[in-house]
Structure 1
């Protein structure tokens, strides 16, 4: 979101950011925006800390060792628990905002033109509805599923669901599992997410207000998707695709890091980063990765937090932070070892760097699969990772030209657009401001009940008419064709 704010600020827009006092990444003071800091009450069991994601990673790896049916059941239980936790935090935040009469009066008087939010957790959605502001999403997820499912047709016959690890070409059994995941997502939304907000809606909104309708009413959905990465699927006019909007050309590296890159000679450099949520891998996994790196002729730059692995080779540089985009855009970089977060994978696509994926959490497994299907990546299962199989997979990425060729093909497709994804995002935000909304782009489907959307009422009518016609035809046949002949008397004469 910060990158969009920077671009809006450079174009002269005045920005106000409503943030939680507990935010990890959104600073209270910034040259880009004025902040409104909200202190929401703590969760009953305490708020989520950074160790929470390390525990989630351990749980995720354990799930992937389970048989498929048991894993599916356990995944749904875990998803329900996480939805309650994160939506509970969103509910406490927006409740605090709406119940602060002086804050709400100040926000109303400010005369905002638009509200921009990521609607995965709907605090921003509810605030926009209360203030009656045009609404733009920076979005990929909504409630319990991928955001397309809220407004665009999403047939589970070829649209893979979250955590399915399927492509868009599925066998019969895969389509069966995919349908069950589709149904589970709908149940999670209706039984876990929506009920959490019912009391808030009754207190602060007109009778009959429902969260799902509010979420679907956004003017423009800036979807963090590009179809060089995502599988093709149906869409609607107010979904605008900005996948890779954060990508940009590489900047020069600091002198010491540039010297390290140049010291790799013709062999090149492998870059490894597993994101910001998980600070450290299990010790045995770290030692296996370090031992594999030590056997490479390439140099390695590894974003790493924790105690130094004992098997670390002289070719590996450990950094607690690295300029990832600038490293991926460096001519010496020949492979990217990543956990499969979308930001990192889009940067790899932009710069044409093949990926060795070590997915750990959430959608990372699906993300790596999408590149693997396109021949631009390979995945290593973290639960069975050893120095030998990690080294074999990494050498495969480095030595087989097809991985780099396929990724460079994706890079060319990703860049071959009439406008950059960022310029597209800014255009549509300003379009909504200029026109005070974009109701002309909204599909009527968002206002239909589910049974009308799927034409179930029409199907019931047609079945009823067909059934009645069949019954009438059968009854007529019985009356006209199947009557018993009249009784004849036989008279005998003697």
Structure 2
């Protein structure tokens, strides 16, 4: 600390020494409270990694040390990112060659050009099997587990998509916190006692809003019951053998022992539902104020004049190959007709002429582009991070969902008035052009986007800061005061079935004895009235 003694005439050498001692003691306090936190961000790829990395960045400012467990297939990708020097890393090895892992994700990207969910289902099934094998390999890698044990971690943060994070934490005897990257927080945290009501809260992958018809409510209720009674069991079943082998609790019980659920949701862009205290909404973890763009990108934007630009970003879902060449031509034809310039995220440029109004880039800083005043809209696949970045920066959207929860994001875009939805199975250049023209020319979308942005930004802490605060708080003070006691109840007690049965029995017996009493009373009255009459007649 530099102090100008001329500006502070009352400052003596003794007081300066006291300030130095106080500062030193504060430094010691921070270092003493620092914790080593292990993070399992799935495999270290894409949006799942960036969510946990955003939280980790804020935990660093609180004095904690972060170690990320990533796969050998994406180790280089992580180390070459801006987070490469920020965290420590431990690497696990996939049970199949790295090239095969990359091919799996390449095949998943083909879902954009396939009709129906067949390709998505096939690749997802293989990915689930790979995750199970990877988890088994991690737990049985004695050298890796020895290193993790000796690192003296205080807790573990994991992506709820992969239950292996909870299994690793249990083996290491660590408390653990989950990041939930999907929409519908009450659906994913129902095991924590979230007030999930299928009448007003849509289930995942239904694409419904909070206002449903009878048919939708029926389907939504069945979807919830089937998933929570069958879907979860099917997902967790492969891990049960591993848990039994190592003497661990059932995977479902392990998930319920999660101390904090950091859900990537905010009720500015999510349907309301009741959350327990240990479920913390931190939607928009990757959204932040924009930074300066590269000069070539800035020059391209400024050349758009008053028309501005549109971002086309389908993440790693949209790739250039023979399966979607026709789709690329549809995109180009639609973009060429728009007055705005287009910045398009695409690893490889198409082998046909591209108009000068379209700039294809292999990588883009989407958050910085969304924060540019010349950005008029984003055309994307319904990624959850992109959705909240668009809200944060107040940018209207056109969404074309491809798979999984992207259909849920698209329903929120439409129902909150942020933009429009397109169906990939019937897509044409006219439909793309009309949707983008509508959201960029109709001021209603712009006004809704700015209103949502103002609401979203008016918070005491940014999402990543809020997540880091609660993790820090949980490490220091525990979460006993935040957790509901529902786990100690069986299904009859939790849903008050025993109480309801008891009340019905009491009501039934009350009516039964009341009717008996009434019958006996009327019988006595009847005898009392008719006996004298018989005597007079005789």
TM-score scaled by length of structure 2: 0.79
Equivalent of residue 127 in structure 1, options 142, 154, 168: 168
Equivalent of residue 66 in structure 2, options 3, 11, 15: 15
Bigger radius of gyration among the two: 2
Contact 1:16 1:34 in 2 (8 A): yes
Matched, 1:62 2:116: yes
Q: By how many angstroms is 1:479 displaced?
A: 7.2
Matched, 1:182 2:224: yes
Partner of 1:69: none
Q: By how many angstroms is 1:261 displaced?
A: 0.6
Cα separation, 2, equivalents of 1:477 and 1:25: 85
Matched, 1:363 2:405: yes
Distance of aligned partners of 1:16 and 1:378 in 2 relative to their CA distance in 1, 3 Å threshold: same
Distance of aligned partners of 1:85 and 1:477 in 2 relative to their CA distance in 1, 3 Å threshold: farther
Equivalent of residue 90 in structure 2, options 26, 31, 36: 36
Contact 1:90 1:121 in 2 (8 A): yes
Partner of 1:492: none
Contact 1:349 1:414 in 2 (8 A): yes
Partner of 2:290: 250
Q: By how many angstroms is 1:370 displaced?
A: 0.7
Partner of 1:231: 271
Matched, 1:377 2:419: yes
Q: Which moved more, 1:467-476 or 1:419-428?
A: 467-476
Partner of 1:317: 359
Q: By how many angstroms is 1:361 displaced?
A: 1.4
Cα separation, 1, equivalents of 2:395 and 2:232: 41
Partner of 2:533: none
Q: Which moved more, 1:288-297 or 1:476-485?
A: 476-485
Equivalent of residue 277 in structure 1, options 306, 317, 320: 317
TM-score scaled by length of structure 1: 0.86
Matched, 1:2 2:53: yes
Distance of aligned partners of 1:94 and 1:36 in 2 relative to their CA distance in 1, 3 Å threshold: same
Equivalent of residue 295 in structure 1, options 328, 337, 341: 337
Equivalent of residue 451 in structure 1, options 475, 479, 492: 492
SS in 1 for 2:379: strand
Matched, 1:333 2:387: no
| Equivalent residue runs for 1:107-256 within 5 Å | 107-141=148-182, 146-151=187-192, 152-205=194-247, 209-256=249-296
Residues 208-253 of structure 1 show CA distances to partners (whole Å, capped at 9, x for unaligned) of x222222122222111101111111111101111111211111111
Residues 243-288 of structure 1 show CA distances to partners (whole Å, capped at 9, x for unaligned) of 1121111111111111111111111111111112342472222212
Q: By how many angstroms is 1:454 displaced?
A: 1.4
RMSD over aligned CA atoms reads 3.0
Q: By how many angstroms is 1:84 displaced?
A: 5.1
Matched, 1:396 2:438: yes
Cα separation, 2, equivalents of 1:24 and 1:161: 34
Partner of 2:46: none
Contact 2:154 2:175 in 1 (8 A): yes
Distance of aligned partners of 1:98 and 1:409 in 2 relative to their CA distance in 1, 3 Å threshold: same
SS in 1 for 2:60: helix
Cα separation, 1, equivalents of 2:112 and 2:339: 31
SS in 2 for 1:297: coil
Contact 2:383 2:409 in 1 (8 A): yes
Q: By how many angstroms is 1:428 displaced?
A: 1.1
Partner of 2:482: 441
Cα separation, 2, equivalents of 1:110 and 1:415: 38
Partner of 2:7: none
Cα separation, 2, equivalents of 1:309 and 1:156: 48
Q: By how many angstroms is 1:464 displaced?
A: 3.8
Q: By how many angstroms is 1:440 displaced?
A: 1.3
Q: By how many angstroms is 1:345 displaced?
A: 1.3
Cα separation, 2, equivalents of 1:382 and 1:366: 15
Equivalent of residue 106 in structure 2, options 51, 71, 75: 51
Contact 1:271 1:333 in 2 (8 A): yes
Distance of aligned partners of 1:293 and 1:309 in 2 relative to their CA distance in 1, 3 Å threshold: farther
**Unpaired runs of 5+ in structure 1?**
64-73, 486-494
SS in 2 for 1:428: helix
Cα separation, 2, equivalents of 1:277 and 1:446: 39
Q: Which moved more, 1:325-334 or 1:105-114?
A: 105-114
